Amino acid sequence: KCLPCNESEFTEYPNDFSKCLRCQVCREDQVQLSPCQATRNTQCACRNGTFCSPDHPCEMCQKCRPRCPSGEVELAACTPHSDRRCGPPTTTSSSSSNQFLIVGGVVLFVLLLALLFLLWRCCCRSSGEHQNGHCSTLSLQVRVPRSDAIQRSTLIPAEGCDPVKGKDLGLGAVLGGWEGTSLQDEGVFEQSPFCPSCPCPTLSFPLPLPLALRRSFDVFADMVPVKDWKRYGRALDLLENDIDLAEMNDKCSRETFFQMLNTWHNKEGMNASVNTLLDTLHQLSLGGIAKEISRKLVQQGLFQCEGS
């Protein structure tokens, strides 16, 4: 039968000893961390400024190094179990912090630029929508040859308004009080003022403008060469994904080109204009095709004109 240990004695685990072990008494160079208990010996440790390595018998605590020599820095402080460790200075921490500061500054700068760009785009878009909804002018630019038979013709004005006459082709549409104007010497339509004396003008344009623009896509699909479709789509700022999606069914069918123009129209929204389609052809050195398309648009009744 096991008997409990007396005071100043202990045993940490079951054993066959006839008596308990005597508790350790801390030396003068040590301090007591915890007193002796029946199941645990006295816990001692070296005093501050001294140490005793746990890998060697601790007969006496040794003094820690008071300071690091010149040219070295303290890597680890003195503890009861290890001496003060010194070594050459390292810039890892400072360089890492500097790198974090630099990267953080660059990221913050990029985010600030992106925010400013988004604000600028939103402001410009809001301003553009405001002008589209309230401005008193509207123009539809169609480039045509100066020697064409429809040169020097003007748009039929809304009922009750004076016709707007010009020197060259007047190709456009009147839509709810909006009027097209005549071409100047460059062969391009300009804007004409809204007719203030027509509260409820009669439309002389046979089709609503968005519908006419979509119907004109068939003319573009017939006239623009297949080999130039992709180049034309990129010139209209379509993404490669948009072009690839349009080509999923058949790369050489008219439906492909129609879908490209339809995607462009959906992206542009109210800003979509046949002017952009024609001007883009001129930019691609396809001015002859642009002129022929202009002639067909009038011939098919998408734009109603009257010779002056």
In three-state form (DSSP H/G/I as H, E/B as E, the rest C), the secondary structure along 157-215 is CCCCCCCCCCCCCCCCCCECCECCCCECCCCCECCEECCCCCCCCCCCCCCCHHHHHHH
One domain, residues 159 and 131: no
User: Which residue range is the domain that position 108 belongs to?
Assistant: 104-135
Q: Does any domain span residue 85?
A: no
One domain, residues 187 and 249: yes
Quick check: 82 and 51 in contact, CB under 8 A? yes
One domain, residues 286 and 168: yes
Q: Does any domain span residue 49?
A: no
For 177, left (φ over 0), alpha (ψ -120 to 50), or beta? left
Interval 18-57: pLDDT, tens: 889 999 999 999 999 999 999 899 999 999 999 998 888 8
pLDDT in the model for residue 96:
64
One domain, residues 128 and 259: no
Quick check: 189 and 172 in contact, CB under 8 A? yes
Q: Does any domain span residue 81?
A: no
Residue 171 confidence (pLDDT) above 60: no
One domain, residues 127 and 246: no
Averaged over 6-18, what is the pLDDT?
Answer: 86
Among 64-78, 114-128, 169-183, name the most confident range: 64-78
H or E element, residue 260: helix 254-268
One domain, residues 176 and 239: yes
Q: How many residues would you count in the chain? A: 308
Q: Does any domain span residue 292?
A: yes
Q: Residue 86: pLDDT band by 50, 70, 90 thresholds?
A: very high
Interval 94-130: pLDDT, tens: 566 677 889 888 999 999 999 898 888 877 665 554 4
H or E element, residue 305: strand 305-307
pLDDT in the model for residue 122:
78
One domain, residues 131 and 157: no
Residue 207 confidence (pLDDT) above 80: no
Averaged over 207-226, what is the pLDDT?
Answer: 78
One domain, residues 173 and 265: yes
**pTM assigned to the model:** 0.34
Residue 252's domain is classified under what CATH number? 1.10.533.10
Report the DSSP pairing between strands 9-10 and 21-22. antiparallel
The CA distance from 206 to 225, in Å, is 29
One domain, residues 179 and 294: yes
Q: Does any domain span residue 5?
A: no
Q: Does any domain span residue 239?
A: yes
When comparing pLDDT for 168 and 76, which is higher? 76
Q: Does any domain span residue 4?
A: no
The domain total for the chain is 2
Q: Does any domain span residue 53?
A: no
